[in-house]
Amino acid sequence: MTGRAVRTLVLGGVRSGKSAYGESLLGSHRQVRYLATGSRTSTDAEWLARIAAHRERRDDRHITIETTDLAGELRAAPDIPVIVDDLGSWLTARVDALGGWESGDVDLDPEIADLCDALRGMNADTVVISSEVGLSLVSSTPAGRLFQDLLGTLNAAVAQACDRVSLVIAGRVLDLPRGEFDASPVPPTAAEQAPNDRTSNDQTSNNQAEEAPANAPETAIAATPAPGTAGPPAARTRVAATPVAADASDLPDPTDAEIFPAVTPPDEAVAFTARERQNSLTKPPGSLGRLEEIGVWIAACQGQCPPAPIVKPAVVVFAGDHGVARGGVSAFPPEVTAQMVANIEHGGAAVNVLAARAGASVTVVDMSVDADTAPHLSTYKVRRSSEDLRTTDAITIAEARAALAAGRAIADRLVDSGSDLLIAGEMGIGNTTPATVLVGALTRREPVEIVGRGTGVDDHGWMRKTAAIRDGMRRARKVVHDPLALLAAVGGADLTAVAGFLAQAAVRRTPVILDGLVITAAAMVADALAPGATRWWIAGHRSVEPAHQIALDHLDLKPVLEMSMRLGEGSGAVLALPIVQSAVDIMTSMATFDEAGVAGRDDSPADVEIP
């Protein structure tokens, strides 16, 4: 077993987009087995047309196998990525085979256990599609209630066999945290078991629609959390991290990872048109201040005016440990990095809460955490912890290329899946030290000018940190004009991956909101790797770290917010995201003077009689 496979259960209602989303999870694989469970013997023309449409949607990579022996087919090829679509039709077929609709007495526990065992034995990425109980159309009859009870049991068992469970509602995706409660369905009451119309097997099967329509829009697979609704606070304000799993054969080639193509700037002609539109809206020109500038920038990045709404923003938190942290430069011990990675993965960090409010997905990537993390987090892992930058290179040149390639690949994956705005975050105890070294080396500042308190070190910690930055800068100066060597010397794997991510986003013409010191320090190197990349970025906020303002000045960026923040994780950038979204909304939804029938500004001289 590779240790990198991810088993995902995708739940949703009829025509929710669950199948399209499930297929997107395996989009990078060269070969996919498609286990289709929908019956082609039905007399329902609409059902048969839907199955045919799904078959046409599958490209040459897909090997379609129509079967109800799911456990057998999974065991037959455990090393080939597979999608099962869907469990509801499989369940219907198994109840049919056992004659359970009439008797209402059917025991599928052994078959469900066998299916789950086969799922756990998969060595390749696996996606299972199923309808969530209550979201599919099932008649309120004894047979319908039997189907719902069995489906609830089946979904709960499969969820336990999977690494990840996603719920698709109205084209939006919510990754569900693992629950600690008993997920078995509550037995029906006597009233619920009362006789009613008996539905036929065909009706149950047809109402249990397996997939989204073939013409589902791209936004149907948007990996963003569902909007906040009434319910427990945790359900409203958290979004768990989304894995970026890849098969080992899909890892990026690090050869020449530091060589980027020329960056095309945002469209100046569109920017001019956007400024004219701003002046035509029902407000005095410039009265919305910076909001107008941001709207123009997004329009220029998208190459259209008015700009399209930002519907699929994505946050990636790059995690890594640093050897210098063992020198007492942080208020927290290094093991906190791995603990916080787990917290982000399960939706408990500040970035998760803020992202849920802004409608952004969150992905956490282990680049160099000094611990073993889950396989789907460590797909791109370069090493365990970077070395101590005070005395030796943080990583080797080969590791720097691998980290750069990883950052570029992650950006490509997100852009290819439809993400329309990216945010980089970071998690790593002691990472403000290498970040400050980068800023100091590139701007030729003295350590005492740029060192900050980071996670809140005391005076003695501040002195140790200043000395570490001094030693790191002394080593960095030798390679300051070689971005790759500079990242290897003092950056570490996580900051190097961030630099690749930011530069590749610019190459792919995708806007980015920068976070605080660590991300902005990596951005300085990214702009050296891909000159002109900075035009695709906006600074989300200004942190209290002294080096951050120096880095912003170096990149000629003005922060959107100043909230005295110094947390990291991407939190400041995510907090600025709703402002950027609002700037777009102003451009798209606010009426012009002509549309509203409002008189514009009168610049003609007043007709006043002069005595």
Cβ atoms within 10 Å of 559's Cβ, excluding its own: 21
Tokens of 471: 């030693």
Q: How many residues does the chain have?
A: 611
Q: Identity (one letter) of the amino acid at 246?
A: A
Q: In angstroms, rounded to a whole number, what is the distance separating the alpha carbons of residues 367 and 403?
A: 7
**Of 571, 171, 510, nearest in space to 310 by CA:** 510
Backbone angles phi, psi at 160, to 5 degrees: -65, -25
State the Cα torsion 521-527-533-537 to the nearest 10°. 10
Is 569 annotated in the active site? yes
Contacts of 41 (CB under 8 A, 6+ apart): none
Distance CA 276, CA 287 (A): 14
DSSP-assigned letter for residue 282:
S
Angle at 542 between CA 541 and CA 543, to 5 degrees: 115
Taking CA atoms, 314 is separated from 166, 291, 337, 505, 577, in Å, by: 16, 21, 22, 12, 10
CA-based radius of gyration for the chain: 27
| HSE toward the beta carbon, residue 467, CA cutoff 13 A | 11
SS (H, E, C) 477-499: HHHCCCHHHHHHHHHHHHHHHHH
Cβ-proximal residues to 459 (8 Å cutoff; 6+ apart), any chain: none
The side-by-side arrangement of strands in the sheet containing 421-427 is 361-368, 313-320, 421-427, 512-514, 537-541, 559-561
Short-list 498, 506, 511, 510, CA closest to 540 = 511
- Tokens matching residue 423: 């945010």
Residue 559 three-state SS:
strand
Catalytic residue among 335, 569, 595, 609: 569
User: How many angstroms separate the Cα of 159 from the Cα of each of 19, 153, 176, 383?
Assistant: 17, 10, 10, 31
d(CA 328, CA 592): 58
Catalytic residue IDs: 569
